[in-house]
Amino acid sequence: MFRNVAELVELADSQNKKISDIMIEQEMKYKKKSRTDVMELMERNLVVMEQAVEKGLNGVQSHSGLTGGDALLMKKYIEKGNILSGETILDAVSKAVATNEVNAAMGTICATPTAGSAGVVPGTLFAVKNKLNPTREQMVRFLFTSGAFGFVVANNASISGAAGGCQAEVGSAAGMAAAAIVEMAGGSPAQCAEAMAITLKNMLGLVCDPVAGLVEVPCVKRNAMGAANAMVAADMALAGIESRIPCDEVIDAMYRIGLSMPVALRETAQGGLAATPTGRELEAKIFGIPLEKKNE
């Protein structure tokens, strides 16, 4: 079993295997199941992700009314053809948003690594699918690769917004996605680690400040930015660009930053965007609390 990214990369390199191979073998050993069994279990997660993306792209609305329909807007914008950021990145954005809008609408999603950050991994996966034309097995491997890096973060830092801010949720998800994109595109295990490091260090300090305490604003749009971040970081790593700070040290830095965050910025809805005048007005409206009473 690997404890950190350095050990994960070393195992892959020494055995001439991919990151996904190492994670699949670990799952086989931990669950005491065959390779076929663990692949089938992950395939189920892939199906859930596909269904969520499809549903979100058709347009959904949350019960609070705070979110919904943005994935469809982005899809239509892409179809017009006059885009600025590049079709693959915006496709990842639309599909990340689609997933999180389904989550906000109480639909079924796959937490990767959490419900609040569930859009980044599938958003990027189904966007690069159109670019790289992977087999179904390669798509399942994408999830194992992302899971390997998520495993390291969960065991050495945190994937909880309440513990470490949104850097621990969307930041981790974006890093996981970037690493998986690199492997799918033919990059080395070391390049996967570089992509994770580049992504995460550019999301350090991101606070968790959900308006009205709901996983909607700004969560949905943060998944969009996480997906874009992951795509760019993957390209940087594939180009040979390296992070000057090793991946494990970036993860540790994220953990320490999370510990130093005020409670108000760790999923309590007491600070940040949740504490803005508009944020408080939305909270009062959603829960039927007179604003004057809320401000007492």
pLDDT classification of 290: cutoffs 50, 70, 90: confident
Give 256's contacts (C-beta < 8 A, 6+ positions apart).
none
Looking at the chain, list the stretches that DSSP marks H as alpha helix, in order from N- to C-terminal side. Answer: 5-14, 19-31, 35-57, 70-80, 87-104, 120-132, 136-156, 161-164, 166, 172-184, 189-201, 219-238, 247-260, 277-287, 291-294
- Per residue in 218-240, pLDDT tens? 999 999 999 999 999 999 999 99
In single-letter form, the type of residue at position 242 comes to E
Site of tokens 């991946």: 247
Over residues 24-37, the mean pLDDT reads 97
Task: Give the closest residue to 193 by CA, choosing from 18, 13, 20, 6.
Answer: 6
Does 296 score more than 70 pLDDT? no
Question: Average per-residue pLDDT in the chain?
Answer: 97
pLDDT classification of 16: cutoffs 50, 70, 90: very high
- Per residue in 69-98, pLDDT tens? 999 999 999 999 999 999 999 999 999 999
At 8, list the tokens.
């994960």
Q: What is the DSSP string of 76-99?
A: HHHHH---SS-HHHHHHHHHHHHH
Over residues 174-201, the mean pLDDT reads 98
Site of tokens 């109480």: 106
Distance of CA 122 to the CA centre of its chain: 8
- Per residue in 250-281, pLDDT tens? 999 999 999 999 999 999 999 999 999 999 99
Q: What is the DSSP string of 172-234?
A: HHHHHHHHHHHHHTT--HHHHHHHHHHHHHTSTT--B--GGG-S-TTHHHHHHHHHHHHHHHH
- Per residue in 106-115, pLDDT tens? 999 999 999 9
Domain map (residue ranges) of the chain: 5-51+111-288
Does 142 score more than 80 pLDDT? yes
Does 133 score more than 80 pLDDT? yes
Does 295 score more than 60 pLDDT? no
**What's residue 186's pLDDT?**
98
Q: Report the SS3 class of residue 126.
A: helix
Over residues 63-72, the mean pLDDT reads 97
